């Protein structure tokens, strides 16, 4: 796990100081080693967190002929098999690193090398003879890659902090992205908060030919939901899934540094930790749990019980570590805001950051359960959408009147409250089918934006952020209405929220986080499963639970799904009240005309009086962090 930076098509100019600054700003991602490659056309910089081949994996790596320079952020899990194949083709290796395997793979297959790779990665290859650059990102977007063009020069980096060191970094605000962020708590890809800065999409490659300044971007992989294994009975499918997940965990246990897992009170991390413990036996398996002082968010007892169950199955080698963390540290929130580089308001990044910091005391690699909810229909909102589709026979005008009337009977006491959940469900039933799912996730509805937006955002006052989702409808190929939402989340929520949160929060502590459920074979198999194998009546992740009965006990199934949330509503009324108020009302947010102070005071006061506007207020605090950094 590392950071990469590059400037390509330099026209012979020296960018040594710039690339050095870019490298230094990303040092937290790779504190073990660093290196710079310079040529007449390009300059690369690499920060290394040593995981595989600790002594000989220095990057950027240059081929023996001097023709190719390559650098990799991430892990190639099948590099040993690829290495064997490449040796049989006549390639000679001098290290045991996956980066050298990538180098030789490119020598043989060019840009098609991505089709052979099984891993999480963002990498760059520069061919000095053909004067061509290749940038690539893994299939699901586990590793980040940002870029912009300065004339005909391309600049790229792993994080905004590195990219911003280039003197031509374009700082013009993308105001549609501001509106999208306020609704979704993240900026949807490929856009960023800066108008001319882009994220390379997951499963895509970018090629730049310096001879004609031509850039091409193409997709090399996409999950296919159109073909179903309809002849595969449940028992056979369960056995196959079990085998695939076990293999996915096994390949992610390869490491030359200490490795462990994250364990919450939920299904996904319990399965990953249980498999890891069994595979590592008799060697110990360390697992880490974050505990909270607030009982509504605390899963320490559930995690402890899961650890006990796993120890009975694995032979007793699981070493369970837990620590009560206090994420209500405003300075941590501001620090993470810097690391994300653009507004990102998923507040669970704070406990994840502290959990990663705790785990880093003993390990350098951790396995987690990310991705299972999207591919096995684990979110409660999928079940809500299944209920909603049963009502679509009722004309929308009638649904709007009926269910909005009922929703008004339930006060806004927060999403985790029973009233809050019922209210959201009724609002979903009232919404038009086309935008119902977006409305379910929208943290700043259009009516509130019209009240809040000041002169700086006047041009997007009437902008419709729901098109972030609706514009993708024609690309989605799943036939089942709810499965289509899981496919949508693979394009939006997973790569734009879950995975950046995991990457940034862990890499800020130089900890590598690996996600077995995002294994390509697991995702492709899940996409081919009939929907009723995943969402069966009221049972979510049905087949996944059936595949691991030794870990998924009736007790675990009965636990309510909590997620990794924080009590933001209470913090904004108590421990963070003064700091949040100051950031909202004494910053560029209101002083420079982005948000109208009078309208904002209305929602602040309503929140203090007991109604829940914590998502809205926290989004604005995070936006204020960003604005104050970019004066």
Q: Burial letters for 192-223: b for 16+ Cβ neighbours within 10 Å, e otherwise? A: bbbbebbbbbbbbbbbbebeeeeeeeeeebbb
d(CA 452, CA 136): 39
Q: Indicate the DSSP class of residue 365.
A: E
Query: What pLDDT does 53 receive?
Result: 61
The two three-digit tokens of residue 298, written as one number:
């605390």
Q: What is the pLDDT of residue 579?
A: 96
Model pLDDT for residues 326-355, shown as the tens digit of each residue? 888 899 999 999 999 999 999 999 999 999
Q: What is the pLDDT of residues 454-503, one digit of tens each?
A: 999 999 999 999 999 999 988 999 999 999 999 999 999 999 999 999 99
User: Do 506 and 147 contact (CB within 8 A), yes or no?
Assistant: no
Residue 536, φ and ψ in degrees, nearest 5: -120, 110
Using alpha carbons, select from 186, 133, 132, 131 the residue that is nearest to residue 156: 133
Given this model, what pLDDT does residue 301 score? 87
Percent of the residues in the chain that have a pLDDT greater than 90, as a whole number: 79
Pair of tokens at residue 75? 């892990």
Q: Would you say residue 191 has pLDDT above 80?
A: yes
pTM summary value = 0.94
With a cut of 80, say whether residue 563 has pLDDT above it: no
Could you give the CA distance from residue 463 to residue 523 in angstroms, rounded to a whole number?
34
Confidence of residue 22 (pLDDT cuts 50, 70, 90): very high
Highest mean pLDDT: which of 94-98, 385-389, 623-627?
Answer: 623-627
- The pLDDT of 128-157, averaged and rounded, is 97
pLDDT band at 52 (very low <50, low <70, confident <90, very high): low
Least confident of 144-148, 289-293, 483-487: 289-293
Return the percent helix, strand and coil in the chain, to nearest 5.
45, 15, 35
Q: What is the mean pLDDT of residues 95-120?
A: 95
Helix axes 499-507, 330-340, angle to 10 degrees: 110
DSSP H or E run through 619 = helix 614-629
């Amino acid at each position: 796990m590392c950071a990469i930076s590059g400037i390509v098509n330099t026209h012979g100019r020296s960018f040594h100081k710039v690339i050095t600054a870019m490298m230094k700003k990303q040092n937290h991602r790779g504190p073990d080693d660093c290196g710079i490659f310079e040529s007449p056309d390009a300059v690369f910089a690499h920060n290394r967190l040593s995981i595989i081949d600790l002594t000989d994996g220095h990057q950027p790596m240059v081929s023996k002929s001097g023709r190719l320079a390559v650098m990799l952020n991430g892990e190639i899990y099948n590099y040993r098999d690829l290495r064997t194949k490449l040796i049989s083709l006549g390639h000679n290796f001098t290290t045991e690193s996956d980066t050298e395997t990538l180098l030789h793979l490119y020598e043989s297959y060019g840009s098609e090398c991505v089709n052979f790779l099984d891993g999480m990665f963002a990498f760059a290859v520069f061919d000095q003879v053909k004067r061509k650059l290749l940038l690539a990102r893994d299939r699901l977007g586990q590793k980040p890659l940002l870029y912009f063009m300065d004339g005909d020069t391309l600049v790229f980096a792993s994080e905004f902090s590195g990219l911003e060191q280039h003197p031509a970094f374009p700082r013009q605000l993308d105001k549609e992205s501001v509106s999208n962020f306020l609704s979704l708590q993240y900026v949807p890809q490929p856009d960023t908060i800066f108008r001319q800065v882009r994220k390379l999409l997951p499963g895509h490659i970018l090629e730049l030919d310096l001879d004609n300044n031509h850039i091409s971007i193409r997709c090399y992989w996409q999950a296919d939901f159109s073909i179903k294994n309809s002849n595969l009975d449940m028992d056979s499918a369960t056995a196959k899934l079990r085998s695939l997940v076990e293999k996915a965990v096994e390949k992610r246990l390869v490491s030359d540094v200490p490795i462990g897992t994250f364990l919450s009170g939920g299904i996904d991390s319990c399965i990953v930790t249980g498999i890891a413990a069994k595979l590592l036996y008799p060697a110990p398996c360390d697992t880490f749990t974050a505990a909270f002082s607030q009982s509504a968010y605390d899963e320490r007892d559930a995690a402890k019980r899961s650890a006990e169950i796993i120890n009975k199955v694995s032979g007793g080698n699981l070493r369970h570590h837990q620590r009560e963390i206090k994420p209500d540290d405003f300075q941590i929130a501001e620090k993470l805001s810097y690391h994300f580089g653009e507004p990102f308001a998923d507040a669970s990044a704070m406990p994840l950051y502290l959990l990663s910091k705790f785990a880093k005391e003993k390990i350098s690699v951790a396995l987690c359960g990310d991705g299972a909810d999207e591919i096995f229909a684990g979110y409660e909102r999928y079940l809500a959408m299944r209920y909603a589709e049963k009502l679509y026979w009722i004309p929308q005008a009638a649904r709007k009147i009926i269910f909005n009337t009922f929703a008004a009977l339930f006060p806004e006491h927060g999403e985790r409250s029973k009233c809050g959940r019922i209210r959201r469900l009724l609002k979903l039933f009232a919404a038009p089918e086309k935008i119902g799912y977006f409305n379910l996730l929208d943290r700043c509805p259009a009516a509130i934006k019209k009240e809040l937006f000041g002169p700086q955002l006047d041009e997007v006052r009437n902008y419709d952020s729901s098109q972030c989702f609706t514009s993708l409808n024609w690309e989605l190929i799943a036939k089942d209405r709810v499965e289509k939402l899981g496919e949508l989340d693979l394009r939006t929520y997973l790569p734009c929220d879950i995975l950046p949160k995991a990457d940034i929060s862990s890499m800020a502590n130089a900890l590598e986080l690996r996600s077995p459920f995002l294994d390509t074979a697991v995702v492709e198999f899940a996409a081919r499963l009939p929907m009723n194998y995943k969402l069966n009546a009221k049972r979510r992740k049905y087949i996944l639970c059936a595949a691991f009965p030794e870990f998924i006990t009736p007790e675990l199934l009965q636990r309510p799904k909590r997620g990794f949330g924080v009590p933001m509503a209470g913090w904004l009324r108590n421990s963070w009240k003064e700091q949040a108020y100051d950031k909202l009302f004494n910053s560029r947010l209101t002083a420079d005309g982005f948000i109208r102070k009078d309208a904002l005071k209305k929602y602040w006061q309503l929140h203090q009086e007991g109604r829940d506007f914590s998502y809205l207020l926290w989004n604005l605090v995070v936006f204020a962090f960003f604005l104050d950094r970019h004066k």
